[in-house]
Amino acid sequence: MTTSPSGSPPIDSPLSPSPRVVRAVIVTSTAKRALQITSQGVILSRGLRVRFHASTSWTSRESDTKELSAGVDIVVATRGRLRDHLSKSNLNPLFEGVRVMVLDEVDKMLESGVHPSAILRRLPLSRRRPLWRRRRQIIMFSGTATPEVISLASSVLHPGYKLIMAEEPSEVPP
């Protein structure tokens, strides 16, 4: 599912249009969730020139390759399909421009044995951009604040940034 509504984002936005380069990746644990997020993203971005694409086990690899090569701003993917894309030499460079990485349902990823830091390590960094521009904004969502989730958040946050939780770790059930 891809869209390109009319309009324009702010000039300095990390999602400013750039041909053939993915600007943001949202990783979630299920295909159904990826389609829901994509659908809501399309609705919320009406009036902006932002193209979304859902990439899951429910979409064909060929259509994914075609859409990504044509230019997509935000990819919403399951972790397995994203791993497939990053392992392909013709698609990997399209992910060099990723400025925002969203990890949705991190607790579910960890429960299933997938460590999101493995996904983060696979994303290529642009060698053409100055070092200070290579940093990514990483956003994590989790329904629970388990010690594993807190540890992961601490390891991926840049120095000076904070972990914000709706409940105190002491309130988390064992």
pLDDT in tens, 118-144: 777 777 765 555 544 557 788 888 888
Q: What is the CATH number of the domain that holds 123?
A: 3.40.50.300
pTM of the model: 0.78
Residue with tokens 């891809």: 2
Region at 43 (left for phi over 0; alpha for psi -120 to 50; beta for the rest): alpha
Q: What is the dihedral of CA 152, 154, 23, 10, to 10 degrees?
A: 140
33 falls within a domain: yes
φ and ψ at residue 78, rounded to 5 degrees:
-80, 155
Would you say residue 2 has pLDDT above 50? no
Domain count, the chain: 1
- Please give the pLDDT value at position 134: 57
% the chain with pLDDT above 70: 76
88 falls within a domain: yes
% the chain with pLDDT above 90: 20
Would you say residue 7 has pLDDT above 50? no
pLDDT in tens, 23-43: 999 999 899 999 999 999 999
Q: What's the alpha-carbon Rg for the chain, to the nearest Å? A: 16
Strand residue runs (E) in the chain: 24-28, 52-55, 74-78, 100-103, 137-140
